[in-house]
């Protein structure tokens, strides 16, 4: 049993850099042993020792470690690392998992954190906030405020569309109204969300000064304590030194998954800026691997989860590779007080959202597509069989990309721009869907991970007389904002979006249909895109359509995605890297053309086979 004994702390704050002293003790049946009894136990040469009138069997390896009593006593640890141990309830010492308990001020802090994690603290209405917060949003603001009061930071990981922005604005107003933490706030977000943040501040806190720190004329001169400064990740990378000197008391990283790689320049810039208390906002704290969660938590509360490599070996690998339940539970206990996660399926939230209906449309290949697909599979598998290592992985990734392009449309694969009609089963299915949607006076979002495919869809819909908007990475910020305003005003029934450019941050509640033209092999990213329409503010049911080409790798991956979706809340493996590690035989089974054996009973001779699930997340 290790007991952390810190020096006295004052007020609500707690220095994460403080060094705590550890006192190592041995307990027998829950009772602490005296120094004399420990010496007797350590000096014993037998595996059975008589202590306190009873015979006790002792592990010889443990006895050997107890012989070096001085080494065990001379231990110290950073306060934040000790905090992680105490929340977990145990620590690994010399290969053994030992119980950790706290005394004094740190014990009080741990108890306060556990109370905050249960959201027992209530906070009144934020001064100057226009509009009413929903109950779960009020609890979110109270949680954020308490974490800031403790000086520890945290991650607001609500699902997309549940109002993280307004919760942060309310937090800022509470801090400004206070006497101690009313300094300026810095918000770092993707470029496409700059305008959204400025509009939301003006809407919910019209008396709060807001600065858009972007463009050639940007300046940080004249910042006042109650101000909100909004900047992009790109500017944060370039101007990290200037932002660090501005004296922000609160720093917000919106869509914090942009800094999920701790070795990236973006992550380094966020760490360099500092910004007092740090709050991360993201709907996907884990997209692909647990080290992404480590990166976010280590930014908000540096050192809580220990060094990254140690975390990867002792936590990420056991959970991702072996689904170790004990390690999973210990990680949950550690991060729970620092991460607030609410989903649309939570009972307190589901009642406030309209229904979501998910439909998978299984479409067939045209003769041209089938010919191209089979030829590419034969050629690619022959080449893959001749290679090993990195070269083989490269050929596998190329094959996957090419086959997805063929499933989308032969013109995408061949680099053509004309003669689009009648050549793709998937495009024909999209045309039929949009024909009904537009005829009923409704609007739709159409997502593709390929900008080239989006351009082909735009050209085809123009031929059919269907008005569209097309947002992708090359569209300037001002034009993006105009597109969103035009779509929300109902001036175009179809909004085409590349998944990377339009999959996060946008409020597109005008849409009642979301169409995933090609599947992104990451359920969390796909859900984020769907949340552009299915979010707070939506008053109508949202229908989600996923187009899947029957009998191809898309068909087989679709089944695997459901299993992956179940793990996304805790662990998600590499997006496509696992495919490159398949044997040649398994790879051939994945990409071969033909109906999967497991799926034959759910197919019919009809062009489409529809399977629907109502309510909640798909």
Q: What are 390-432's pLDDT values in tens digits?
A: 898 899 989 999 999 999 999 999 999 888 999 999 999 899 8
The CATH number of residue 571's host domain is: 3.40.50.300
Q: How confident is the model at residue 179 (pLDDT cuts 50, 70, 90)?
A: low
Please give the residue that has the higher pLDDT: either 418 or 164: 164
What CA–CA distances, in Å, run from 408 to 366, 429, 459, 549, 609?
11, 11, 15, 9, 18
- Return the CATH number at 282: 3.40.50.10810
pLDDT of residue 249: 92
Asked, for residue 590, whether it belongs to a domain, the answer is: no
Is the CB of residue 612 less than 8 Å from the CB of residue 421? Answer: no
| Residue 144 banded pLDDT, cuts 50, 70, 90 | very high
Res 137 pLDDT > 50? yes
Judge if 166 and 247 occupy the same domain: yes
pLDDT of residue 424: 94
Range of the domain at 498: 353-363+422-577+595-614
CB 475 within 8 Å of CB 501: yes
- Report helix, strand or coil for 250: strand
Q: Express each pLDDT in 100-129 by its tens digit.
A: 666 666 666 776 676 665 554 567 889 999
* Residue 541 is assigned to a structural domain of this protein: yes
pLDDT tens string 244-271:
999 899 999 998 988 888 889 999 999 9
Q: Residues of the chain with pLDDT > 90: what percent?
A: 32
Q: What pLDDT does 427 receive?
A: 95
| pLDDT for res 28 | 61
Tell me, what's the pLDDT at 6?
44
- Residue 524 CB contacts under 8 Å (≥ 6 apart), including other chains: 283, 284, 286, 287, 568, 572
Give the span between the Cα atoms of 176 and 304, in whole angstroms: 28
Structure tokens belonging to residue 124: 């009144």
**CB-based burial, 417-431: b 16+ in 10 Å, e otherwise:** eeebeebbbbbbbbb
Residues 54 and 69 occupy one common structural domain: yes
- State the pLDDT at residue 357: 80
Domain count, the chain: 3
Residue 571 is assigned to a structural domain of this protein: yes
Strands 154-156 and 277-281: parallel
With contact defined as beta carbons under 8 Å apart, do 245 and 273 qualify?
Answer: no
Q: What value does the mean pLDDT of the chain take?
A: 79
Point out the least confidently predicted range of 49-53, 111-115, 157-161, 570-574.
570-574
pLDDT digits (tens, 9 = 90+) for 1-11: 444 444 444 33
Q: Which of 314, 349, 384 is where one domain is finished?
A: 349
Taking Cα atoms as reference points, which of 218, 250, 221 lies closest to residue 232?
A: 218
Q: How far apart are CA 314 and CA 85, in angstroms?
A: 14
**57-61, 110-114, 240-244, range with greatest mean pLDDT:** 240-244
Integer CA distances (angstroms), 297 to 279, 301, 303, 497, in order: 9, 6, 9, 31
Same domain for 452 and 519: yes
51 and 159 in a common domain: no
Q: Which is more confident, 494 or 54?
A: 494
Q: What is the DSSP code string of 550-606?
A: TTSHHHHHHHHHHHHHHHTTT----SSHHHHTS-HHHHHHHH-SS--GGGGGG--SS
SS3 at position 186:
strand
**Same structural domain, 320 and 359:** no
80 and 178 share one domain: no
Q: Are residues 195 and 247 in the same domain?
A: yes
Measure the CA–CA gap between 173 and 204, rounded to whole angstroms: 10
Give the pLDDT band of residue 201 (cuts 50, 70, 90): very high
336-369 exposure pattern, b = at least 16 Cβ within 10 A, e = fewer: ebbbbebbbeeeebeeebeebbbbbbbbbbbebb
522 and 554: one domain? yes
* Residue that terminates a domain, selected from 89, 109, 129: 109
Cβ–Cβ < 8 Å for 413, 405:
yes
**Residue 123 forms part of a structural domain:** yes
Whether 252 maps to a domain, the answer reads yes
SS3 381: helix
% of the chain with per-residue pLDDT over 70: 73
Same domain (yes/no): 75, 128 = no
Residues 257 and 331 in one domain: yes
Q: Is residue 589 part of a domain?
A: no
Are 567 and 525 a contacting pair, CB within 8 Å? no
> pLDDT tens digits, residue range 589-613?
888 887 544 333 333 222 332 223 3
Q: Are 289 and 310 in contact (CB under 8 A)?
A: no
Would 406 be classed as within a structural domain? no
Burial status of residue 592 (CB atoms within 10 A of its CB: 0-12, 13-18, 19 or more): middle
- 387 assigned to some structural domain: no
How far apart CA 601 and CA 603 sit, in angstroms, is: 6
How many CB atoms neighbour CB 22 within 10 A?
20
CA distances from 308 to 107, 191, 266, 288, 393 (A): 26, 29, 17, 16, 26
Of 349, 381, 405, the domain-final residue: 349
Residues 310 and 205 in one domain: yes
Q: What is the mean pLDDT of residues 35-59?
A: 69
C-beta of residue 436 within 8 angstroms of C-beta of residue 394: no
Tens of pLDDT, residue by residue over 304-334, are: 888 889 888 888 898 888 888 888 888 888 8
pLDDT in the model for residue 180: 61
Same domain membership, residue 23 and residue 125: no
């Amino acid at each position: 049993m290790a007991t952390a004994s810190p020096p006295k702390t004052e007020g609500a704050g707690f220095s994460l850099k403080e060094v705590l002293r550890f006192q190592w003790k041995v307990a027998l049946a829950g009772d602490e042993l005296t120094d004399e009894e420990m010496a007797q136990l350590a000096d014993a040469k037998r595996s059975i020792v008589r202590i306190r009138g009873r015979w006790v069997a002792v592990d010889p390896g443990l006895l050997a470690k107890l012989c070096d009593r001085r080494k065990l006593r001379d231990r110290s640890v950073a306060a934040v690392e000790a905090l992680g141990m105490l929340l977990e309830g145990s620590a690994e010492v010399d290969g053994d998992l030992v119980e950790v308990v706290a005394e004094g001020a740190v014990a009080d802090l741990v108890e306060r954190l556990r109370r905050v994690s249960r959201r027992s603290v209530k906070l009144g209405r934020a001064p100057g906030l226009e509009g009413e917060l929903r109950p779960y949003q009020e609890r979110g603001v109270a949680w954020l405020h308490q974490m800031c009061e403790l000086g520890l930071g945290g991650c607001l990981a609500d699902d997309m569309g549940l109002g993280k922005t307004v919760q942060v604005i309310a937090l800022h107003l509470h801090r400004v109204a206070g006497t101690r933490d009313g300094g300026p706030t810095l918000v770092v977000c993707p470029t496409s969300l700059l305008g959204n943040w400025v509009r939301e501040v003006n809407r919910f806190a019209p008396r709060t000064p807001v600065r858009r720190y972007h463009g050639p004329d940007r300046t940080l001169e004249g910042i006042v304590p109650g101000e909100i400064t909004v900047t992009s990740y790109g500017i944060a990378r370039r101007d990290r030194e200037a932002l660090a000197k501005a004296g922000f008391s609160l720093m917000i990283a919106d869509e914090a998954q942009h800094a999920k790689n701790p070795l990236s320049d973006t992550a380094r810039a966020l760490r360099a800026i500092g910004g007092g208390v740090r709050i991360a906002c993201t709907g996907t704290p884990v997209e692909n691997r647990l080290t992404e969660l480590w990166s976010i938590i280590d930014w908000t509360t540096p050192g809580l989860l220990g060094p990254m490599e140690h975390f990867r070996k002792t936590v990420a690998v056991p959970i991702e590779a072996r689904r170790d339940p004990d390690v999973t539970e210990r990680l949950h206990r550690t991060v729970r007080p620092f991460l607030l996660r609410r989903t649309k399926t939570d009972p307190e939230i589901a009642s406030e959202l309209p229904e979501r209906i998910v439909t998978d449309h299984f479409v067939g290949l045209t003769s041209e597509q089938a010919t191209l697909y089979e030829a590419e599979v034969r050629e690619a598998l022959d080449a893959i069989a001749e290679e090993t290592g990195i070269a083989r992985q490269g050929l596998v990734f190329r094959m996957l990309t090419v086959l997805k392009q063929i499933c989308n449309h032969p013109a995408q694969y061949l680099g053509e721009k004309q003669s689009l009609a009648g050549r793709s089963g998937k495009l024909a299915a999209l045309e039929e869907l949009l024909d009904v949607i537009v005829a009923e006076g409704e609007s739709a979002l159409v997502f593709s991970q390929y900008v080239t495919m989006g351009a082909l869809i735009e050209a085809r819909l123009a031929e059919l007389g269907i008005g569209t908007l097309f947002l992708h990475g090359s569209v300037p910020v001002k034009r993006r904002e105009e597109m969103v305003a035009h779509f929300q005003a109902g001036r175009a029934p179809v909004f085409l979006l590349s998944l990377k450019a339009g999959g996060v941050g946008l409020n597109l509640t005008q849409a009642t249909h979301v169409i995933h033209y090609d599947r992104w092999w990451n359920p969390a990213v796909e859900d984020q895109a769907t949340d552009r329409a299915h979010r707070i503010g939506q008053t109508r049911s949202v229908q989600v359509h996923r187009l899947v080409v029957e009998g191809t790798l898309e068909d087989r991956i679709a089944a695997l995605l459901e299993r992956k979706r179940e793990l996304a809340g805790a662990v998600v493996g590499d997006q496509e890297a696992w495919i490159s590690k398949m044997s040649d035989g398994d790879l051939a089974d994945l990409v071969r053309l033909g109906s999967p054996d497991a799926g034959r009973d759910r197919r019919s001779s009809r062009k489409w086979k529809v399977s629907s699930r109502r309510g909640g997340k798909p």
